[in-house]
Structure 1
């Protein structure tokens, strides 16, 4: 492994690229946002036309299934540009069935495919401390190991049945989305009872009602800072995938459905590109209360 392309330089993809550069790889960053590409070049990324035929691996970290499919098999797709046995690592949150479809299509092109959704947030991504949930052939996993070691602190393996990693990510996203919505509901409920947001976080972070998402996102509300670390618009997509999987499995997920409606309301109210903690604005508006302003 020497030459790697990271496609999708959002907060997670950019962090992965940074970690690979620190580990000595030749990293070609690709993103529709040329500002992100220029930032990566400043960090040591390569400023050149991507030599697809010389790549050893491509890591895809984009928003959704449609973008992932287009990148691999669209009109300008990479599948026909890569040499045989190039590793394609898909970190996008997708459904298990989509992962299986992409793996089969890549196998037909003699490419290695690894289903590798990620968790950890932008900070852990930039530190090379992500968690991966991976599934794929033994050959794909062996090929990916140096990359995973350079960008993660934990790799959870789910065997050779492609899509198992994405199924696990769906479970994680179910909890993460519900926890963010629950945090927003609780902090705004507290405000209606005269509890200052700062005191809410001080107390709940030491009590049984806490969660990682609460401790991570509540400070955004307290600071009135909704610059997107993870945006509202991610959740209608991710929780939509969760509910599609649940529907196909005849599984009822009413709490997830309720959380999804709050994120849809936030997106529809113009907060889609703000930090996902901005879902609290829906609760605040409905309750007729003011959230803290940025200083």
Structure 2
């Protein structure tokens, strides 16, 4: 599975099986119904081995059935066969519409439909949302792969979403110390003021880095009101420098991938010339997304 093996690996059954069954008509030990579990099995194997799943893997990757350009998405909406070699459901995967500076109304409408937001295609707010996405991408944000941040942006613009907490201020200090043996180590401390349900909380937390310290300080303020945050954890943290010519003053983009006990995963984005501020933006989006979806899941139950 997933091509795992010594040295160069082995033939990847995850790619071979659907090719043999769906494209060449061969019978295998798997039924067509078994094949619908292929994506789940592939990702569980990577989770067990503590490996990042290959987003670009054929058939089972998150981007295997991703669509980006406006005309491209419009065509897929009319007839998916124009750009998809098999139906994503046949291998347990799902179609993914991306939003970026190449996006048009088709991308935005398709994504809004995916997240359960019903809005008329002629609504002028759609054009405003498309413009806003492109403006934010120009200054460093990207929603290609950060669908959770896009959903929150759309809900703020179209549904007046208000976050369950309000940041008043934060301060982060990084201290480099020496141990008794002379080895260096760093300790980050975050002090935060945040308003929850109208009540001001001031918290202090230490972490093994500024982002970890911010996360802990925010959770201290929120856990009493929102105990569901206990099962939320960081899966991946990526930093990208967007203007290498600007050196240490360059705009930095941070992507955070989070998960919870339900195995749901979501990715958020932040952008700033200050890497801590970019991290805060992505972190706060991640927590708002978790709280909003958990609250609405309970409402549907």
Q: Which has the higher contact order (CA 8 A, sep 6+)?
A: 1
Give the number of the structure whose alpha-carbon radius of gyration is greater: 2
TM-score by length of 1: 0.26
Q: Which has the higher helix share?
A: 1
Q: TM-score, normalised by structure 2?
A: 0.26
